Amino acid sequence: MGTGSNRSEPYDLVVNDALIVNATGRFHGSVGVRDGVISAITRDGLRGAVEIDARGGALIPGVVDAHCHFRISQGHGPNAVVSSDDYAIGPRSAAFGGVTTFIDFAIQERGRPAHDEVESRIEEASAGSIIDFGFHCSLTDPRPGVLDEIEPLMERGIASFKFFMAYAKWGFYVDLGFLQAAMARIASRGGVVAVHAEDDEILEFWRDQKAHEPRSDMLNHSLSRPELAEEVAIRSAIALAKETGAMLYIVHLSTARGLRAIEDGRAAGAQVVAETCPHYLAFTHDVYRQPDGRYYTMTPPLRADGNRQALWEGVRDGRIDVIGSDHNSFTRAQKDRATGFLDVPPGLAGTETLLPYVLSEGVSTGVITLERAVELLCTNPARVYRLPRKGSIELGRDADLVLLDLDEERVVADSSLHDPAAYTAFSGRRMRGWPVTTISRGEVIVDHGTCHASPGRGRFVPRYGANVSNRASSAAMRT
């Protein structure tokens, strides 16, 4: 606590009379910002060119949504289904929900260099996003020569790579041998290996079995992707992570069985980070029995009752490290065109409601503290994914801040989202606790329901592995 500068002129922006909340604790005071960086944290009031009176309200770091998909295409060729947003609409919507940094996925097209997709996505996001961003690279082409792309991509600032243990028929799956070799290369430079953990052979067997049943029975979306498939894939990935020393990140954990596998892996010495998502905490697969069940489809699917409660326990007691949105927004019309569980496009809008859901169902109910919410949504994703300037209200960090009204209640509706084509699975649900003001690098970008930022102000944030050169690490801090 204290000022970081002796300069006497006012700050560019100050937030006074705030309850400043980090993962490590809270205190009442003020924050001063110069040149986009937190330059003062003090119990005293401050003067600035822009002054915000928090009136005792909670001020938290900007949310880091470490798992989202903007402008994603599912399928190939003219039959591909494209999500409802892009790199202008999606990040803008995220900012209304208190997200100030997102990490999206550049998914390699087989037969093409992964570098091409990474650069294309960076260019697209740079032109559209109002908030800062990074990318994971998904390597989908399991040829040995593709491994040579890893080091140049890490030099470019891609510190994390995602691998699919499913979707062989769609050209995303990689075999365990390739995954082991990739893990070793990434681990040697201190990067992060994320996996979509569902065993493809189990999925394909049960998908074929359920295809002989009525396609309109949406419960088969869950039954054709059994809980065992997640557990088997997680245990396989953990064995490789332990062998190679890689940091393993399990995306969108959906089952109690998967969580137990992660506990076992940690006990055996593997480095494993667990992420879950609001929809797995909120719903069970019984919603697939409803007439509108197709609107709740994502992969992995929603699970039987008992899993949701187990995941909440993991969130509460620290076994789950991160909550990400897995934002993947398709419209109701796109879901309606499906003939059944085999061809409904999987994905839900989620980045805008990520923080409100955790505040409402976690903090407001007393299941977790606000400090724990900050840890899950801000500090841990920034730490794990090598964002040293994000995730905490500290001197020298980017002034990414969110002012909250923890008592405000709203009923969520499709029309309340800031993607006009999207829908929300939380439609009709009352949530308590909402962001009031979102600040990115010291600029007020959303305030009381109004966006004040223009497309293209967001910056690509290079992220470097723990074992890269001091030169690269210093560059990351200066960016």
Token pair belonging to 131: 């908030």
Nearest to 275 by CA among 180, 164, 377: 377
What percentage of the chain's residues is helix, strand, coil (to nearest 5)? Answer: 35, 25, 40
Amino acid at 46: L
pLDDT of residue 4: 52
Q: pLDDT band at 80, cuts 50/70/90?
A: confident
Tens-digit pLDDT profile for residues 275-297: 999 999 999 999 999 999 999 99
Give per-residue burial for 15-45: e unless 16+ CB within 10 Å, then b.
bbebbbbbbeebeebbbbbbebbbbbbbeee
Mean residue pLDDT across the chain: 94
Q: pLDDT band at 79, cuts 50/70/90?
A: confident
Can you tell me the mean pLDDT for 137-151?
Answer: 97
Can you tell me the mean pLDDT for 192-204?
Answer: 98
Domain definitions of the chain by residue range: 63-384
CA 137 vs CA 75, 157, 300, 323, 349: distances in Å? 19, 11, 20, 20, 21
Nearest to 475 by CA among 377, 386, 378: 386
Token pair belonging to 17: 């009379």
Q: Whole-angstrom Cα distance, residue 315 to residue 361? A: 12
pLDDT of residue 215: 73
Q: pLDDT band at 76, cuts 50/70/90?
A: low
Which residues touch 257 (CB under 8 Å, ≥6 apart)? Answer: 227, 228, 230, 231
Give the torsion sign (CA, 107, 112, 114, 117): negative
3-state secondary structure (DSSP) of residue 149: helix
Q: pLDDT band at 468, cuts 50/70/90?
A: low
10, pLDDT greater than 60 = yes
Give per-residue burial for 294-303: e unless 16+ CB within 10 Å, then b.
bbbbbbbbbb
75, pLDDT greater than 80 = no
Q: pLDDT band at 7, cuts 50/70/90?
A: low
Q: Whole-angstrom Cα distance, residue 384 to residue 355? A: 19
451, pLDDT greater than 80 = yes
Give the β-pairing of 68-69 and 37-42: unpaired
Helices 227-244 and 256-267 pack at an angle, to 10 degrees, of 20
* Domain topology for 63-384: TIM Barrel (3.20.20)
Q: Please give the full DSSP string across 178-245, using - where no structure is assigned.
A: HHHHHHHHHHHTT-EEEEE---HHHHHHHHHHHTTS-TT-THHHHHTS-HHHHHHHHHHHHHHHHHHT
Please state which of the ranges 72-81, 83-92, 192-201, 412-421 shows the lowest mean pLDDT.
72-81
3-state secondary structure (DSSP) of residue 326: coil
Tens-digit pLDDT profile for residues 414-426: 999 999 999 999 9
- The β-bridge partners of 136 are 105
pLDDT of residue 446: 98
